[in-house]
Structure 1
Amino acid sequence: MARQPAVYIMASWRNGTLYIGVTSDLMARIVQHRDGAFAGFTKRYAVNRLVWFAMADTMEAAITREKQLKVWKRSWKIELIETDNPTWRDLAEDWGFDPLPSS
């Protein structure tokens, strides 16, 4: 996958803790989340499963979408995830990432 702006949602497990982020390199960002490279929230709560993402044409568009999603109600975020990923599987596995242990 080439570098391209994206907004994404990571989860600790199904219906678990959610994190919404933006990046210009989704593959690299997944590695950082899985390696616990970010001290703080995502590392503390093991938020390392990619459950939803959307590519954007520009970084500005990705940031705008990220800001929209961050103020959504949790139920709306869950509905968004489950529309395309009803089982909350780790989408990173589609790109060759190893499966994470079950929680």
Structure 2
Amino acid sequence: MRPFVYILASKRLGVLYTGVTSDLLTRIAQHKSGAIAGFTKRYNVHDLVYFEPHETMEDAIRREHQVKRWKRHWKVEMIERHNPEWRDRFRELF
């Protein structure tokens, strides 16, 4: 499995969540089904609006920490550069 950093959104310009995983399909499916208790379930954050692959989990974790420290508008700008419609890109992964 390849590690990924991902950003979920509740809606366009809504609540954002940044995460890291070694199995993107399974992890996003867990978020969508509500199987993961916590922030994403509580705030209905389940649309995959951004993801990026990494060579190693260490690289992915480092990037996740970097993105989490960013100001919100930097994250929004990155999402809009890659996904201006804020589409849920989960289905594109199949």
TM-score bin, normalised by smaller chain? over 0.9
The CA RMSD measured in Å over matched residues stands at 0.8
Instruction: Report the secondary structure of 1:63's partner residue.
Output: helix
Q: Deviations along 1:33-58, whole A, 9 cap, x unmatched?
A: 00111111100111100000000000
Aligned to 1:46: 44
Whole-Å separation in 2 of the counterparts to 1:20 and 1:95: 18
Q: Normalising by the residue count of structure 1, what TM-score does the alignment of the two structures yield?
A: 0.89
1:10 is aligned, of 8, 14, 23, to 8
Q: Deviations along 1:32-91, whole A, 9 cap, x unmatched?
A: 000111111100111100000000000000000000000100000000000010010000
Q: Normalising by the residue count of structure 2, what TM-score does the alignment of the two structures yield?
A: 0.97
Whole-Å separation in 2 of the counterparts to 1:47 and 1:19: 7
Report percent identity of matched pairs: 59
- How many residues are matched? 94
Query: Relative contact order: is structure 1 or structure 2 higher (C-alpha 8 Å, sep ≥ 6)?
Result: 2
**Deviation above 4 Å: which 4+ runs of structure 1?**
none
Unpaired runs of 5+ residues, structure 2, are none
